[in-house]
Structure 1
């Protein structure tokens, strides 16, 4: 019987105990940001806001200002929970005719009908209006206790340091390299000069990082200008210009 060349890893995580609260996140780095916020006197919503922005730098393939979601908050002493919905919205200029269905199932996370050129999955026409910044802004206005800029500051620091290309980042970037390559800004950030995924040396003597300075700059604008600075003003216009140039219908 042929023996496998590589055996599966056996990975376990220790249980954590706390009297003051716990921050849970797929990214340990982002969770630590939230825990630090609570240690500084912030409440759970302060920690959630800080963690949400930090995730954009710690795992840019899944989270960040370009996303959306829900926040469920149940305050101490109250019997019911409150929900902040900050899902994405379609651009006001969207044209249904841009998305002709060609039959079959999409080769994507969701098995919806296949659209011509995967326009609903890839490229500018697939980009909705993000709700994350607005949602965090409403959460801050309603429930938070700390200064808005202070909650974004850790994310700015992570972005300025760049994304370490560890084994997991290599796996994610390598699996998405074909999709990243057609877009110059994405290719510059996550791929090397030859178009291959960035990778740290196998000897681990050096560490490769993806440059996230532009994300740091954008976070800085939102930190100083407030949530609306993401949707109005120079930052918003620069995003719209890029999307329009790539075929989007954003305005």
Structure 2
């Protein structure tokens, strides 16, 4: 794994690569995060590793491994911890994808827990009177929120593949929210740059800024009592502690403040979907990734298929020639994404064709090694829309060879900007 800093139980926070490896070997697990910290170095651990965007969340997962939990236990603990320490992307009010590879099973499972559209959603709900898209309504409103899936997804994974109880894996996140966490440099910067739209919601202003409206600075302690209470309710009651009862009532009450569409029935009916992973090969290695509705998995395989036809080593890492074929491969995959990708529950996605090596061979013939392709020649009139970079990913391996990879998001950084009053978490703007 490559990243910024390693942490091991009973080891100092800042370590050299060699010391990090020694501590990992001694303790059996290693937490690892690259977040505004030390230079990147390869880090090796014999008995387990957690890689996450925030060091505290990675530490939580590593401690679960040290307690004897498996990769799924650690991943769920890390996910709930990220909702506390990295709320611009870690979440209860968003959705995600989880890949699970269990060492005793010859398969890779993909758990889809993205947000679902409320039953009352309409195709014209973001249009103004002139028939044009109202961007504020589509991005920064209660109407932009889909039914959250993160809580159900993590709990389903724990129930199916985990070995520890909800109480055990959620206790660290509850403690972090209740006792407070030191604000990192990145979190402080995110709060500063996002205040314009977070401050439109009284609850978000209360949760993420000081009483006088000023910013939390790096090193300040942020306590989230309402979030701690919500996490504790989920710990006690499971999915019913979020999708029914008090928390569900608070979500619906928040919807009613701004014309949102999520109902109690929508929350009660939410479910995850288990799908077969997208698979491929690259120079003899098996590659597994998330299937649609995620767009990433198919096109990772597609890009690798194209790149397999080049001698990348001879080109030199990050040389002009290397970057040229990499970029041109990505451009072709992204062009296909804009045309062919959709939700497989409603749209027939040509997975086999897009990941076929013969198709990659054809795409490779369209790449001129001496110049960049004209965009119109890749896909006429195609322009890729801006997408927020405020999504977080974390990966876990345990000593038994089980592995988990999770991508979770609120869509934009801090989602819709609206928090559920009384529950302490932000709502997505996935719609």
Q: Same fold (TM over 0.5)?
A: yes
For 1:106-185, what aligned pairs fall within 5 Å after superposition?
115-185=133-203
The counterpart of 2:110, out of the listed 83, 87, 96, is 83
Q: Which has the higher contact order (CA 8 A, sep 6+)?
A: 2
CA shift for structure 1 position 193? 4.1
Confirm or deny that 1:96 pairs with 2:108.
no
The counterpart of 1:222, out of the listed 226, 231, 234, is 234
For residue 262 of structure 2, what is the aligned residue in structure 1? 250
Corresponding pairs, count: 227
Compare 213-222 and 184-193 and name the one that shifted more: 184-193
Structure 1 CA distance, aligned partners of 2:191 and 2:37? 24
Kindly indicate whether the alpha-carbon contact (under 8 Å) linking 1:88 and 1:130 is maintained by their aligned counterparts in 2: yes
Structure 2 CA distance, aligned partners of 1:48 and 1:133? 13
Structure 1 CA distance, aligned partners of 2:76 and 2:89? 16
Q: Which has the higher strand share?
A: 2
CA shift for structure 1 position 79? 3.0
Distance 1:115 1:162, change over 3 A: farther
Structure 1 CA distance, aligned partners of 2:104 and 2:246? 43
Structure 1 CA distance, aligned partners of 2:44 and 2:37? 23
For residue 3 of structure 1, what is the aligned residue in structure 2? none
Structure 2 CA distance, aligned partners of 1:54 and 1:151? 10
For residue 53 of structure 2, what is the aligned residue in structure 1? 26
Distance 1:21 1:116, change over 3 A: same
Compare 87-96 and 170-179 and name the one that shifted more: 87-96
CA shift for structure 1 position 93? 1.9
CA shift for structure 1 position 224? 0.3
Kindly indicate whether the alpha-carbon contact (under 8 Å) linking 1:181 and 1:187 is maintained by their aligned counterparts in 2: yes
CA shift for structure 1 position 238? 1.1
CA shift for structure 1 position 56? 0.3
Scaled by the length of structure 2, what TM-score is found?
0.50
CA shift for structure 1 position 197? 2.5
Q: Secondary structure at the match of 2:106?
A: coil
The counterpart of 1:232, out of the listed 244, 247, 264, is 244
Distance 1:10 1:225, change over 3 A: closer
Kindly indicate whether the alpha-carbon contact (under 8 Å) linking 1:164 and 1:208 is maintained by their aligned counterparts in 2: yes
CA shift for structure 1 position 145? 0.3
- Cα-to-partner distance string for 1:74-103 (whole Å, 9 max, x where unaligned): 111433211111111111122333211799
Q: Secondary structure at the match of 1:70?
A: strand
Give ranges in structure 1 of 5+ residues lacking alignment: 1-8, 104-113, 201-206
The counterpart of 2:63, out of the listed 29, 32, 36, is 36
Kindly indicate whether the alpha-carbon contact (under 8 Å) linking 1:68 and 1:132 is maintained by their aligned counterparts in 2: yes
Q: Secondary structure at the match of 1:22?
A: strand
Structure 1 CA distance, aligned partners of 2:222 and 2:123? 36
For residue 55 of structure 1, what is the aligned residue in structure 2? 82
Give ranges in structure 2 of 5+ residues lacking alignment: 1-35, 264-431
RMSD: 2.1
CA shift for structure 1 position 243? 1.8
Q: Secondary structure at the match of 1:119?
A: helix
Kindly indicate whether the alpha-carbon contact (under 8 Å) linking 1:163 and 1:212 is maintained by their aligned counterparts in 2: no
Distance 1:209 1:226, change over 3 A: same
Scaled by the length of structure 1, what TM-score is found?
0.84
CA shift for structure 1 position 11? 4.6
Structure 2 CA distance, aligned partners of 1:50 and 1:122? 29
Whose Rg is larger?
2
CA shift for structure 1 position 249? 1.4
Kindly indicate whether the alpha-carbon contact (under 8 Å) linking 1:72 and 1:83 is maintained by their aligned counterparts in 2: yes
The counterpart of 1:186, out of the listed 185, 204, 212, is 204
